[in-house]
Amino acid sequence: MEASVRSPSSAYLPRFLLLLLLLLLLCVSPTSSLQNPFSECTQSRGRGASYRGSVDVTESGARCMNWSEVSGVTARYPGKGLGVHNFCRNPDARIRPWCFFLNTRGRVDWGYCDCKQGSVRLQGGRSKLDGTVEVYMNGAWGTICSNDWDDKDAHVVCRQLGQGYKGRARGSSLSRLPLAVVHWRTIGCSGDEVDLMQCPRSVWNGGECANQQAAAVTCTPVEAVSFVPVRLSGGASVYEGRVEVYHTGQWGTVCDDQWDNNDAEVVCRQLGLGGTAKAWVGAYFGAGVGRVLLDEVSCTGNELSIDQCPKTAWGEHNCDHSEDAGVSCTPLTDGLVRLVGGAGGFEGRLEVHYQGRWGTVCDDGWTNTNTQVICRQLGYRSGQNVNPERFGVGSGPILLDGVSCTGKEPTLTHCAKKKWLRHDCKHTEDVAVVCSSQRVGHGVPTRYVRVVALEPGKAQDDGIGSGGDDKNGISSKFKSPI
């Protein structure tokens, strides 16, 4: 749909000032709970601040239109973050972001955005770090059922409320809560997400929560972490290589006993490399020199440093350099796929990555041939389509529709399809896939970590000293928690 409409003008100034006054009153209202309206209306101070968040709902609850659907807007504001997406922006240098939407008469209108969408707060606890989790969605605060609620979900809540906290999950009786709204039935965070909106979740459609309890957390400050310096050596780029650690004045390698993708994820995080973390064994990046310093490393995947993971004592091992461990930290790029909501990375609701966000794929015209391409991209031999309801409905944007593969494509993005974000679907039509659990080759792993910007091609100077092959290495000393 194409439409031509003027952006907000000075005619709306009185209304704008009134809304701004109300916002200021809300901002200074006292509260006893810990609250974090993430991606508030501006992400930097002062008039003209450039908002780059993912809020896509107006204050009236209307879903934003794609900027590309409104004729002439992207050309009028070049380089202002507009494009084939419907995220709120302020290209005209207003203090608050806004977007276009279709009003009740089917006409294009504009409105300021609900910048608190996805915020969390804790209510009714013993302290500001304890309480029932409430989420702000579509203009209302609501709770989450405690179904499958665990410490990984709690970690994300505490991280969203303020970096430096870890969380313990618990339940809170719904009968004691004055708030009747329940937003989500289940949520399944990996523990690495920055906020709850990044976690797979299912919408509550009535019924009862497990044990009549809502999700609650207790947040505690994370103890000071000493980061063992780590670097990657022998790889073809700064994103891969043999893992080397620094201890008592020397660099050494890590034995690959028990080495897996969880360990790789921690190494990639410690180095500030986001994306897809994959473990490599058998001296894949060449045999190192010097001592083997660590063995039997068994991370859960949520640690901030390899030194936090269970492992043998320094220097104790039964290995040689033919067993040196390695990692690759593939950056998150458009077109990466993952399966979520299943029992493992081989099954679930299909999600694809685009412009920094994960979204679903509509099943219009979806075939078994498409599924084979997906499973091969993930590193599995074959797969089959399943009922979309099996893994629950998705949330967030529906990124692709009308996908048609021939079966020869290496990845989903090589298949014929509609333009990104162009669809006529609902989340009840999300594609769901089950791949055979047998892997082929070195497939793309399915665990993901937060992306941290790093200038490609530049290694960080560790400032400690030389040792080993660090031509293509990255060294890390002390980094703040994510």
Residues facing residue 360 across a β-bridge: 351, 398
**Does some domain include residue 481?**
no
Q: How confident is the model at residue 95 (pLDDT cuts 50, 70, 90)?
A: confident
- Do 212 and 78 lie in one domain? The reply is no
Asked if residue 3 is part of any domain, the answer here is no
pLDDT at position 25 over 50 = no
In a domain, 261, yes or no: yes
Domain endpoint, select from 200, 221, 242: 221
Give me the CATH number covering residue 41.
2.40.20.10
| 1 in a structural domain | no
- Per-residue pLDDT reduced to its tens digit, 159-201: 888 755 678 899 988 877 665 688 888 898 888 777 787 788 8
pLDDT (average), residues 450-465: 30
Helix, strand or coil for residue 266? helix
Say what the pLDDT of residue 439 is: 62
Percent of the chain whose predicted confidence (pLDDT) is above 70: 76
Determine, yes or no, domain membership for 398: yes
The residue that leads in pLDDT, 92 or 263, is 263
Q: Are residues 320 and 341 in the same domain?
A: no
User: How many CB atoms within 10 Å of residue 319?
Assistant: 17
pLDDT of 32 > 70? The answer is no
Full DSSP string of 93-138: --SS-EEEEE-TTS-EEEEEB-TTTT-EEEEE-SSTTEEEEEEEET
Name the residue among 474, 457, 447 with its Cα closest to residue 276: 447
Nearest 5°: the CA angle 398, 400, 401 is 105
CATH number at residue 185: 3.10.250.10
How many angstroms separate the CA atoms of 422 and 65, rounded? 11
Whether the pLDDT of residue 367 is over 90: the answer is: yes
Amino acid at 394: G
Please determine, for residue 309, whether its predicted confidence score (pLDDT) is greater than 50. yes
Give residue 371's pLDDT: 95
Local confidence band at 223 (pLDDT 50, 70, 90 cut-offs): low
d(Cα 187, Cα 192) in Å, to the nearest integer? 14
- pLDDT score, position 48: 40
| Number of domains present in the structure of the chain | 4
Do 156 and 234 lie in a common domain? no
User: Phi, psi (5° rounding) for residue 198?
Assistant: -85, -10
Q: Is residue 358 part of a domain?
A: yes
* pLDDT of amino acid 335: 87
For position 373, what pLDDT does the model report?
95
* 217, containing H or E segment: strand 213-221
pLDDT digit string (tens) for 109-134? 999 887 777 888 998 888 888 999 99
| pLDDT tops 60 at residue 68 | yes
In a shared domain, residues 43 and 187: no
When comparing pLDDT for 355 and 224, which is higher?
Answer: 355
Of 190, 221, 252, the last residue of a domain is 221
Do 452 and 272 form a contact (C-beta atoms < 8 A)? yes
Check whether residue 81 and residue 68 sit in a common domain: yes
The verdict on 459 and 326 lying in the same domain is: yes
Residues 80 and 137 in one domain: no
Residue 445: which pLDDT band, with cuts at 50, 70 and 90? very low
Lowest mean pLDDT among 15-29, 320-334, 370-384, 447-461: 447-461
Q: Are residues 371 and 423 in the same domain?
A: yes
Would you state the pLDDT for residue 467?
34
Query: Does 343 lie in the same domain as 328?
Result: no
Task: Let me know whether 296 and 283 are in one domain.
Answer: yes
299, 307 contact by CB (below 8 A): no
Q: Reply yes or no on whether the pLDDT at 43 is more than 70.
A: no
Q: What would the pLDDT profile of 245-293 be if each residue is shown by its tens digit?
A: 998 889 999 999 999 988 998 998 888 776 678 899 999 999 999 999 9
**Residue 35 counted as domain residue:** yes
In a shared domain, residues 293 and 436: no
Q: Are residues 350 and 418 in the same domain?
A: yes
When pLDDT is averaged across residues 288-302 and rounded to a whole number, the result is 91
Return the pLDDT at 406: 94
From 79, 112, 145, the end of a domain falls on 112
pLDDT of residue 455: 32
Q: How far is CA 394 from CA 1, 399, 427, in A?
A: 25, 12, 6
Domain membership of residue 463 as a residue range: 230-332+449-476
Look-up of token digits 């203009």: 139
Is residue 4 assigned to a domain?
A: no
Q: Work out the mean pLDDT of the chain and round it to a whole number.
A: 77
